[in-house]
Amino acid sequence: MKRICMMTMGMALIGTLLAEPQAEKQVLTQAGEFSTLWLPSSSLMVGAVVEANGAARMAAQLPKEESATAYGFAAAGITKEQGSFCLGVLMTDLKVALQANDQVRTTAAIDALVTGLQQLKASEPLLRATLQLGAAHHAGMGTDALRRLGLPVIEPFIEAFVEQEGLVVHLRLGEWVESVRLALASADESKPAAATLLLTQMNPAAFFLSALQNAGLPAGGKAALETLKALANEPKLSNAHITQARTAVEQIALAMR
């Protein structure tokens, strides 16, 4: 019951943020800085972007075929830091594909997730749960059922796997960067409400810079995060700001793969 109430509150927060960005920004500022205990989850961010841009428009930005290479997993010698970032990206994409009821892209995301977890030498229970998710999908389980019943099974395993390596921040960075990318790529250019939300009210770039300063953050990723950090203080995002954000998230994705 408590979890349901929290989800209801989260969706109410999304509606408030989209409707009254300036008022909500003051509330978030008063609440304090971001931390590992309060970072916008991929579910919250995906929900906000889906509400503003539509799930189908978001899903159109995802790979249609299993593409572990696109997520960085097929690269030789991927580090655990890079892998955790890529898991954040991939879990975000999986949630989008499920929200959009996109069977093809759901298959691609699950297959890429299995490949990535195998390369990262994930635990047997996590691999088994992910393979079972894929098997259920191939057997005909609908995307809505997978989203409601399957994701809640594997997500805690992934969180625990990353947490035991001390790399939750890398996972969260991947979730946020991919959510911003999808928000920008799927937006109506005249109404970038979701992108504005993630780049201002839900912008933890300053936190990521601080948390990862001694964690081997690549130079390109650091410079791009500095760019995104500056956007959090903009009262209104211009077309130039949106262009800067697009370039920055691409640079972070490249640096972390």
**Domain extent listing, the chain:** 35-255
pLDDT tops 50 at residue 200: yes
Q: CB under 8 Å, gap of 24 or more: what pairs does 129-136 form?
A: 129/153, 129/154, 129/157, 130/154, 130/157, 134/107, 134/110
Distance CA 194, CA 201 (A): 10
Distance CA 86, CA 71 (A): 6
Mean pLDDT over residues 188-214, rounded?
86
Q: How confident is the model at residue 39 (pLDDT cuts 50, 70, 90)?
A: confident
Instruction: Please count the other Cβ atoms lying within 10 Å of the Cβ belonging to residue 190.
Output: 5
Those residues with Cβ within 8 angstroms of residue 102's Cβ, 6 or more apart along the chain or in another chain: 56, 59, 62, 143
Distance CA 193, CA 190 (A): 9
pLDDT digits (tens, 9 = 90+) for 114-163: 988 998 889 999 999 999 999 999 999 999 999 998 899 899 999 999 99
Q: For tokens 């370039």, what's the residue? A: 247
Residue 49 has what pLDDT? Answer: 87
Mean pLDDT over residues 49-55, rounded?
86
| DSSP, residue by residue, 203-247 | --HHHHHHHTTTTT--HHHHHHHHHHHHHTT-SS--HHHHHHHHH
pLDDT digits (tens, 9 = 90+) for 60-103: 998 877 677 777 776 566 888 999 999 999 999 999 999 999 99
Distance CA 108, CA 114 (A): 10
Distance CA 256, CA 14 (A): 29
pLDDT tops 60 at residue 11: no
